[in-house]
Amino acid sequence: MDNERLYIKDVSKLLGISENKIRFYEKKGLIKPERTESDYRIFIKDDIVRLQMIIIYRELGFSIADIEDVLKRGVKENILDHFHNQWRIINREIDRLRVMRKEVENTLDSIYESSDSQVSSIILSKMHYLLEERNIRDGWKDKWNFDESAMDYDNLVKDGEGELGIYKEYKKFLSQTYSLTISECKKDNPRILEIGVGTGNLSEYFLKSNIDIIGIDQSREMIKIAKNKYPHFKIRLGEFLKIPYDNKEFDNIVSTYAFHHLNADEKYQSIMEMKRVLKKDGKIIISDLMFHNNYDKNKFCSKLSEEGKRLLEDEYYTIVEELGSMICALSMSIEYIKFDEIKGTIIISNKI
């Protein structure tokens, strides 16, 4: 086929697409076949390959504009950006449909159990809950600019992070988290999900032990750095509130230095989401900035300067006693392990 010259009807038959679709791609500027003196289109090998790529991208849901950009620039980093964006779009839609399906199912059951006069109020009530939940799941914003801070993150953790001591004994904290996660695994070859991978500093412990770990992070730049450090590490765009995996996929879930970026409502939704992808006997291990109760938080706060207090209130540090009531409502249990005045680990389990 290297030197073969095909007409549009031949290409249509070869690739299994209509002639009109081929003309559409030409109109959009994605392909530019030669023309004969009689104005017939002639396709050579390169045109066929380009059309095959267009068909693949369309099957994956890429827009015409995205395909044009990929074909025009054609560099690895640009292609990765487009595939990451498409991954995010697909998973957002899957998440939206999954939540909607659950509420439609619940509404169906409630309607069957109600009288005619109750139906409208039931539907309104269920849909109100659906919209509230959707607003929480879609409402999280990265107000900390992780993409911008990604390049400096590994240097940042080395200095202990100022007055608050956020990263004090950083490596020891990560090592303890790794050991706790492994000790909580009930299988010899567990499948682990890490949420909020960052630059991959916790992941390194699992990777060196050849443990099956998958990571997600909402920051494209953080992922880029982690992938440069550990090329074979499977990392995907994702977040606490929308985990891009199916039900009961993981034996354990682990996270460090990420949970405090969620407010109380988001924490509750995130625990439900983690529970969804966790196997029945699995554990959630969260090492983060937290206090056992408000007394401990106020005691720590009393030692700080005004700037330190402002920095403390800029985050949503977990109060373990308050989180415990949320977790009990989800038929789960919680264990708290204090690391220092501002850091600790919680282990969340399904009640069996």
Q: Do 82 and 187 fall within a single domain? A: no
Residue 185: predicted pLDDT: 87
Domain for residue 127, yes or no?
Answer: yes
Q: Do 209 and 337 fall within a single domain? A: yes
Q: Do 16 and 151 fall within a single domain? A: no
Domain for residue 2, yes or no?
Answer: no
> What is the reported pTM?
0.90
Q: Is 318 in contact with 267 (CB distance < 8 Å)?
A: yes
pLDDT by residue for the chain (352 residues), tens only, comes to 567 899 999 999 999 999 999 999 999 999 999 999 899 999 999 999 999 999 999 999 999 999 999 999 889 999 999 999 999 999 999 999 999 998 999 999 999 999 999 999 999 998 888 888 889 999 898 989 999 999 999 998 987 778 899 999 999 999 999 999 999 987 888 999 999 999 999 999 999 999 999 999 999 999 999 999 999 999 999 999 999 999 999 999 999 999 999 999 999 999 999 999 999 889 999 999 999 999 999 999 999 999 999 989 989 999 999 999 999 999 999 999 999 999 999 999 987 5
Q: How many helices (H) and strands (E) does the chain have?
A: 15, 10
Q: Do 87 and 69 fall within a single domain? A: no
CA max distance for the chain? 86
| Phi, psi values for residue 192, rounded to 5° | -115, 140
Give the CA dihedral 314, 338, 146, 168, nearest 10 degrees: 100
Residue with tokens 């993150």: 153
Q: Do 119 and 238 fall within a single domain? A: no
Q: Do 222 and 273 fall within a single domain? A: yes
**Rounded to whole angstroms, how far apart are CA atoms 203 and 62?**
31
Q: How many domains does the chain have?
A: 3
Residue with tokens 């290409």: 11
Q: How many residues does the chain have?
A: 352
Q: Which two tokens stand for residue 296?
A: 């401990």
Contact partners, residue 36, CB within 8 Å, separation at least 6: 42
Q: Do 158 and 18 fall within a single domain? A: no
Domain for residue 3, yes or no?
Answer: no
In this structure, how many other beta carbons lie within 10 angstroms of the beta carbon of residue 62? 20
Residue 186: predicted pLDDT: 79
| Domain final residue, candidates 30, 53, 73 | 73
Residue 119 gets the label, from left (phi > 0), alpha (psi -120 to 50) or beta, of alpha
Contact partners, residue 330, CB within 8 Å, separation at least 6: 271, 272, 275
Domain for residue 1, yes or no?
Answer: no
Which value, in Å, is the radius of gyration of the alpha carbons in the chain?
26
In this structure, how many other beta carbons lie within 10 angstroms of the beta carbon of residue 92? 14
Residues in a beta bridge with 192 = 213, 252
Strands 234-237 and 332-338 turn out to be unpaired
**Rounded to whole angstroms, how far apart are CA atoms 270 and 241?**
5
**Rounded to whole angstroms, how far apart are CA atoms 189 and 179?**
15
Residue 162: predicted pLDDT: 82
Domain around 63: 8-73
Q: Do 115 and 196 fall within a single domain? A: no
Q: Do 118 and 157 fall within a single domain? A: no
Domain for residue 67, yes or no?
Answer: yes
Residue 2: predicted pLDDT: 65
**Rounded to whole angstroms, how far apart are CA atoms 333 and 322?**
13
In angstroms, the first-to-last Cα distance of the chain is: 63
Report in angstroms the alpha-carbon separations of 208 from 178, 233, 295, 350.
11, 11, 40, 29
Sign, Cα dihedral of 18, 22, 25, 27? negative
Q: Which two tokens stand for residue 322?
A: 């308050």
Residue 352: predicted pLDDT: 59
Residue 14 belongs to what H/E stretch? helix 8-15
Q: Which two tokens stand for residue 337?
A: 């392990």
Q: Do 207 and 119 fall within a single domain? A: no
Residue 188: predicted pLDDT: 84
Q: Do 24 and 117 fall within a single domain? A: no
| Domain final residue, candidates 73, 93, 121 | 73
Q: Do 96 and 241 fall within a single domain? A: no
Q: Which amino acid is at 100?
A: M
| Domain final residue, candidates 108, 139, 170 | 139
